[in-house]
Structure 1
Amino acid sequence: MSEAADHVVPAAGVPCWVNLMVSDLRIAQAFYGAVLGWQFRASSLGDRFLVASADGAPVAGIGERQPGLAPASVWTPYFVVRNADVAAARIRERGATLAVGPVVLGEGRAGLAADPDGATFGFWEGSALTWTPGEGRAPARLDLQTRDVFDAAMFYGEVFGWATEPDVEVVYRHDHVEVDRGGQAVLSLRGGGVQASEQEHLRPRWLVTFAVDDVERATAAAIDAGGSRTQPSAASWSPQGFSRTLKDPDGGLFTLTHR
């Protein structure tokens, strides 16, 4: 994952990090530095993987893909598991795709998978940063846009063992499912994903949302730095405020919301 003195072994089944793999690390650094004000440093995983930070706090990881391995750039959340082999077996047993791993990375083990609807996610066995969506400079939100909320809740709940974690609670709302840790929401599962859509931002996927002081100013910075708006432009209002979904120069989708 990343280097830091402030590591813990968090509750299993909760998100612990977000990663993005890109074709050109220098372009990604310049883009996310301009849009989100991030700084970058080397990691223990080599010079092809950087840790982004804001106000001195680690936020996310950005790595460069190996030549010849060029899947679409996707912001990917990683979830804590107690045993990476067990998680990998559960993923396969439930009709999902295990793409990578489990492999040894630093002092932990990681895997990369796609759920039955095609949304990409990772899992991590080992210590992790004290990093929680919605706190500090970590992503403001993690949301799964999926075809069927109930099916997705069953899949992820069984893979990550949500029902057996004493600090994790799954809350069924009228139109979505929320996963709480210690009474605080750490992710949500929402409907609306269309697998056959020609518009990629409407397909099932994990939505990673970053908070900024001014969404339109950050959007303008993204366009100037080589990014683009989704087509049609995905902007929305919610109880959390105005948000906009954008593409980075490598095609990676992410969402901006007001801090």
Structure 2
Amino acid sequence: MSAHGPTTPVRGAPCWVSLMARDLESAQEFYAAVLGWRFRPASLGQEFSVAMADGQPVAGLGALAQSFQVAVAWTSYFAVEDADVTADRIRERGATVAVGPLKLGPGRAALAADRDGATFGFWEGQTLAWSVGHGRAPACLELRTRDAFEAAIFYAEVFEWASGRPGGCEVTYEHDQVIVHDGTHIVATLRGGGVEAAPDPRVRPRWHVHFPVDDIEKVTAAAVAAGGTVTPVTATADGNGSQAVVRDPDGGLFTVTSPEPP
């Protein structure tokens, strides 16, 4: 993930998303063709780059999947004050810390999985000026899991959501979903039920990254032309927009979302 920047993120809030790719150059070519991103080097070494859109940082790409022997995937990172304390909380609650915490540039990062197997990361340190729902950064981060309320308890204990301490995130429970606020706007949503009912046994709980696009038909066509696969365009959960899930050529999944209904 990117660690170069002047911002101290809100404790417990998403602070970055990063693709763990097998080949950085190939991944850059795909995402440039599909989402129009440009790339610049990150401060963390040759295996990392920062995706830019409209002059603003959007996401990170890193050639990490082969190094860490993990699947190619988009990973959501959450800001923490102490990575070691966070790692201990995760283990104490029966979940897994798979990698780290590791020193990366001026900060420390780790990869983990919750009790249902959804992977996520956490980051100790400053970040780029970036926030879910702002500009071309992800429109939203969404955990789809078996029990949203149980998952919310886990993440609240790990990241101190709704702890009462100043400077953290608050949560509300609305219409069978948990909404996470950073004090100014919604930064994450936890939804349950759908995974457990899914007939496909390969469907597992995971954090979905939704990138905003203006023309979803154009983007999905570009993804197929660049070697990816795309699900049919459907309405968003609120019915006010459209979305499609894209799988890049290495298997990395992400969602593209347009404000226009299908």
TM over 0.5: yes
Match of 1:103, SS state, is: strand
Q: CA deviation at 1:65?
A: 2.7
Deviation at 1:235, TM superposition (A): 3.3
| TM-score normalized by the length of structure 1 | 0.92
User: Structure 1 unaligned runs (5+)?
Assistant: none
In structure 1, what is the equivalent of residue 52 of structure 2?
53
Of 192, 195, 201 in structure 2, the residue corresponding to residue 193 of structure 1 is 195
- Matched letter for residue 181 of structure 1: D
Letter of the 1:54 partner, please give it: A
Taking the aligned partners of 2:187 and 2:58, their CA distance within structure 1 comes to: 15
Residue of structure 2 equivalent to 1:222: 223
Q: 1:3 to 1:176 in 2, by over 3 A?
A: closer
How much has 1:66 moved relative to structure 2? 6.0
**3-state SS in 2 of match to 1:86:** helix
Distance (whole Å) between structure 1 residues aligned to residue 104 and residue 186 of structure 2: 28
Matched, 1:182 2:186: no
Q: Deviations over 1:134-170 (max 9, x none)?
A: 1111100100001101110000000001122434211
Mapped to 2, the partners of 1:157 and 1:109 lie a distance apart of 21
Aligned partners of 2:106, 2:241: CA distance in 1, in Å?
39
| 1:17-67 residue CA offsets vs partner (Å, 9 max, x unmatched) | 001111111211111001111001111111111110101111111111364
State the distance in 1 between where 2:57 and 2:253 align.
20
Q: Secondary structure at the match of 2:236?
A: strand
Cα 1:215–1:27 change in 2 (3 A) is same
- Structure 1 CA distance, aligned partners of 2:211 and 2:133? 9
Which residue identity is paired with 1:27?
A: S
The 8 Å contact of residues 212 and 256 in structure 1, kept in 2 or not, is answered as: yes
Tell me the amino acid that sits aligned with residue 208 of structure 1. V
Q: Measure, in 2, the Cα distance between the counterparts of 1:127 and 1:181.
A: 16
Superposed CA offset, 1:78-117 (max 9, x none):
0001111110000000111100111111001111100011
Distance 1:95 1:196, change over 3 A: farther
Aligned length: 255
* Paired amino acid for 1:207: H
* 1:31 partner amino acid: F
* Aligned-partner SS, 1:28: helix
Q: Does residue 136 in structure 1 map to residue 138 in structure 2? A: no
Counterparts in 2 of 1:244 and 1:94: CA distance versus 1, 3 Å? same
- The root-mean-square deviation of aligned C-alpha atoms, in Å, is 1.9
Where do 1:93-108 residues align within 5 Å? 93-108=92-107
Given residue 180 of structure 2, which amino acid in structure 1 is its aligned partner? V
Aligned to 1:211: 212
Aligned to 1:118: 117
2:47 is paired with a residue whose SS is: strand
1:36 aligns to what? 35
Identify the residue that residue 74 of structure 1 maps to in structure 2.
73
1:23/1:70 contact within 8 Å kept: no
Q: Using the alignment, how far apart are the partners of 2:170 and 2:250 within structure 1?
A: 36
Unaligned runs of 5+ in 2: none
TM-score in terms of structure 2 length: 0.91
Partner Cα separation in structure 2 for residue 78 and residue 166 of structure 1: 21
Structure 1's consecutive aligned runs of 4 or more residues displaced over 6 angstroms after TM superposition are none
Q: Distance in 2 between matches of 1:30 and 1:169?
A: 38
Partner AA of 2:245 in structure 1 = T
Residue number in structure 1 paired with 2:248 = 248
